[in-house]
Amino acid sequence: MIKKVLPLSLIVALRFFGLFIVLSVLSQYAKDLPGGTAFLAGVALGGYALTQAIFQVPFGVLSDKIGRKKTLLIGLLMFAAGSVIAAMATDIYTLLIGRFLQGAGAIGSVVTAMIADQVREDERAHAMAIMGMVIALSFAAAMIIGPMIAGIWSVSTLFWLTAVLALSALVILFTSVPEPPKIVHHYSEEEAKIKEVFKDKDLVRMYITFLFHSSTMAIAFFIIPILLKNKFGMGTEEYWKVYLPAVIFGILAMGPAAVFGEKYAKGKQVFLISVVFIMIAFALMGFTDSFYLFAAGATSFFIGFNMFEPLLQSFVSKFAKVHQKGAALGVANTFAYVGIFLGGAIGGWLYQIYAEKGVAIAVLIVSVFWIFWILGMRNPALRANLFLNMEEYDHEKLANLKGLEGINDFYTNHTEELIVVKYEDGVIEEEKIKELLKK
């Protein structure tokens, strides 16, 4: 499994490293560019997410039709081009163009769908955790390296580095990523339409959770560097003193979150605890004059934010049907990127008018609604998976399952000679499914 997941995780990690490496310094840099304001700095921070939101679903659907690798190639080239434009920017508006083009290469859902293709569903949580850990490590490295490079050279250097990393990801794509297995699914033309991924209420709850989760990230990365410089007088090259411990504790929180969320089926509880950590974070960052309490708030944010990471993508892939994975993950990531854009823009606007206290109050209010939203979510662990060998079971009898209560999805994996059935545990018995498909 690691051979299948690691190359794809590295591609995502290289791309996210390119995004993360500027996050820790971008808001202050953009604000100081000719034409820059706090609001436009917030748009620059989250600007890539606007085009990510626009292109996320088309890229996911495109990957379902023309193949994952071709779609990844297109996305990485667009990301590299946007990085070059951002590196050459001498005013806020050119920077915005570069950031928008960076986001147009919306490959996040494509990579996740490709992992879902390569890995059996009962192993997918482990696979997503591996990807999440690799991304988290790239995140940690970016938080430390980014401010240092920006302090020694410039923020534009970070964008040049991002372009190089995007091209390096292409090398990994065509030398190390295996072709996905051949999967045959059984669905009608009506079921293949994009509107179908909005019919599952649990999927919709996940989409909104993606929105809240990413918006708080953008707001945090907007106010942290600005307050470190303006309120606590830190130079860019010193930001790592806050980011390093925060990232370390955030990474440590991912393991228990994954275990309790997947193995012990406590995903809802993990989400609720995560929101509480985020609320504590903004309360501290928004209202304290103590540097140490501010740093504790930043650490609390990274803990709460990272606890979501191993579970979000996995839960969406569990709820979605096999032929909808690319589209459903595309929708989920669209909501995430809309959240980043709104978080950056609204965070910048609020800070411009009400300073950090206004930003913190807004996040606390939204978090209360977020908690109630999560409380209505159903546990994805109730959806079980059955893997049947084609030598013993007849895939042509899968039509017998259509419309049967408790059956969520079914498909055949001809590469591994498996019939896969997703069903509601407690609604239909495993033995009944086997009986219907027995040769």
DSSP code per residue over 172-231: HHHHHPPPPPPEEE---TTTTSGGGGGS-HHHHHHHHHHHHHHHHHHHHHHHHHHHHHHT
- Residue 429 tokens read as 């018995």
Instruction: Tell me how crowded residue 189 is: count the other CB atoms within 10 A of its CB.
Output: 6
pLDDT digits (tens, 9 = 90+) for 319-353: 776 666 667 777 887 888 889 889 999 999 999 99
Contact 82, 104 (CB under 8 A): yes
Sheet holding 407-413, edge to edge: 183-185, 407-413, 418-424, 383-389
pLDDT digits (tens, 9 = 90+) for 73-103: 888 999 999 999 999 998 999 999 999 998 8
pLDDT at 139: 75
Q: Which of 437, 431, 429, 378 is nearest to 402 (CA)?
A: 437
Mean pLDDT of the 234-261 span = 86
pLDDT digits (tens, 9 = 90+) for 177-200: 766 655 554 444 444 455 667 777
Mean pLDDT of the 278-296 span = 95
Between 5 and 285, the more confident residue is: 285
Of the CA atoms within 13 Å of residue 226, those in its CB half-sphere come to: 28
Contact 439, 393 (CB under 8 A): yes
Beta bridge partners of 413: 183, 418
Q: What is the DSSP letter of 425?
A: B
d(CA 89, CA 162): 14
Q: Would you list the domain boundaries of the chain?
A: 2-375, 383-437
Beta bridge partners of 407: 423
Expressed in percent and rounded to 5, the helix, strand and coil fractions of the chain are 80, 5, 15
- Residue 153 tokens read as 């050279």
pLDDT at 65: 77
Instruction: Tell me how crowded residue 319 is: count the other CB atoms within 10 A of its CB.
Output: 25
d(CA 205, CA 40): 31
pLDDT at 71: 86
pLDDT-derived band at 51 (thresholds 50, 70, 90) equals confident
Residues in the chain: 439
**Exposure string over 68-105, b if 16+ CB within 10 A, otherwise e:** beebbbbbbebbbbbbbbbbebeebebbbebbbbbbbb
Contact 162, 22 (CB under 8 A): yes
d(CA 318, CA 314): 6
3-state secondary structure of 233: coil
- Residue 91 tokens read as 């005013």
Contact 322, 411 (CB under 8 A): yes
Task: Give residue 24's Cα distance to chain centre.
Answer: 18
Mean pLDDT of the 353-372 span = 94
Q: Which of 354, 342, 355 is nearest to 45 (CA)?
A: 342
Beta bridge partners of 385: 422
CATH architecture of 383-437: 2-Layer Sandwich (3.30)
Mean pLDDT of the 11-29 span = 83
Mean pLDDT of the 52-56 span = 80
- Residue 241 tokens read as 């003193």
Question: Is residue 46 predicted with pLDDT exceeding 80?
Answer: yes
Class of domain 2-375: mainly alpha
Summary mean pLDDT of the chain: 82
